[in-house]
Structure 1
């Protein structure tokens, strides 16, 4: 038997160091699991909210309305909307975009924001469709 122990007969197993650190690790793991679960719940709620917003959007019938629809769509949703509306993105739609861009280029009073939006939209379509 070792000196200074509470087990003079040697019945108990030798003391294991680090039990406090193991308890702290387990506690941190549990709290991280709670934080992870809360984060996963928040992500799911955000996905559900975005899905509901997407389903609530009214898709316009005209090409001009469709361009406005894409311009008003959040950047995170643009790829989803392009995929969802792919059948509407035909030659007529792209011709309409080209006419709009040409009008903006030759307009006397054009805004930089509007020009940038059309440039962004046409780039998104060209990259995702072709």
Structure 2
């Protein structure tokens, strides 16, 4: 993979980070990276250790956790606020990555993490599917 490919892949990843609540699909992301959808998906996985869909859903779940901790939105409102269109799929993915349902997560207290700087908390609270990210993951510090 060339440096130019990595720059284009990062551009697409940055788009997912910034516009996570927008409807994004592989063909649209591949256009941003100036690649075919198949090549983009393979290259993204090789560069970042997970599929574009998995990366996007992880970003959405991270944002959902923050919104649920605030406690002023319902689970359904959070689901749609982070760009998911199906409450069932959102709840299933949230439970898979976080280990508890969105309702349970919203209902419990989150005071213990209040004193931790957001940049540190993000690293340690990043949702990760069982065994998906290994020690060589670029997202783990």
Verify same fold: TM over 0.5.
no
Which fold has the larger relative contact order, with Cα–Cα distance below 8 Å and residues 6 or more apart in sequence?
A: 2
Bigger Rg, structure 1 or 2: 1
Query: TM-score if structure 1 supplies the norm length?
Result: 0.34
